[in-house]
Chains A and B, each alone.
Chain A
């Protein structure tokens, strides 16, 4: 008992930022993401003896956070509000979504993706999970993960690259 706390603290400090970013992309709201991640880490801490032996504890935390989000949604039987991507794109560059310092153009492009594609992209972006592990976290087939990732990246490229090129070449 006494030796597990430093292990958990080290794990938490090393992975909390990437977990928050992953969940933020998935749910689209900074406060909600923070609450989900805190709850997931609290559950990990409560079961640290088991979680620490998991092959990918970070993936466990993400799955727990996303499941908590779904559980809450089911209890309430109504849609979890996600910021309107159309209005996000018009926000000043620094403030972003709920005070998150993300370029609103990028956040808006991510939020325009279907939820599952967003989750796949987030797991690849911040946790660098391979296809098999991503499929395990999301409970889908590996081929589905590949298809979602491919479509998501194509959409993001279409949304973001023209703007980048306009910045590079004003004419």
Chain B
């Protein structure tokens, strides 16, 4: 097997790896990137064992509110994001939702693994 054949075999083995993030979510996240460049964050996040509310001011980015049973993420017109946690469940989903709204958050609950909690690719971590 020469180099080209080896490269072809390796390339084919990754054919099933596909990015699934919709372009709309990337464009939405890009608004947060612009916001990070222009305006410093003015509020941090607070958390408690049973419930937590985080308020982070960002530039307006019209995102509809997401309502789930365990927690609620609401992004308001002024760019403020409110997080209400009713049940310590699905930290990865909460983290994903916050990041989609441009909040550089890493979420973990005691006693629950969140494999994607290791890091946030851009900006400083807040929660």
Contacts and interface: CB of A to CB of B under 8 A. Distances in A.
A141 interface: no
B13 A106 contact: yes
A68 interface: yes
B11 interface: yes
Given A17-B18, A20-B19, A46 B33 contact: yes
A24 interface: yes
Given A69-B121, A81-B118, A102-B14, A42 B19 contact: no
Interface string B9-33: 1110110111111010111011111
B115 interface: yes
Contacts of B14: 21, 24-25, 102, 125-126
Interface stretch (A33-41, A84-92, A129-137): A33-41
Contacts of A25: 14
A39 B121 CA distance: 6
A16 B19 contact: yes
A46 B119 contact: no
B1 A125 contact: no
A137 to B, nearest CB: 17
Given A24-B17, A42-B32, A35 B10 contact: no
A80 B25 CA distance: 26
Interface in B59-103: 99
B17 A20 contact: yes
A151 interface: no
A157 interface: yes
B9 to A, nearest CB: 8
Contact of A32 (B13, B21, B119, B122): B119
Nearest to B1: A161
B116 interface: yes
Contacts of A13: 23
Given A12-B23, A39-B29, A101 B119 contact: no
Interface in A2-60: 5, 8-9, 12-13, 16-17, 19-21, 24-25, 29-32, 34-46
**Which 4 pairs across A and B sit closest by C-beta, in order of nearness?**
A101-B16, A39-B121, A45-B30, A42-B29
Interface of A: 5, 8-9, 12-13, 16-17, 19-21, 24-25, 29-32, 34-46, 65, 68-69, 72, 75-76, 80-81, 98, 100-103, 106, 110, 121, 124-126, 153, 156-157, 160-161, 164
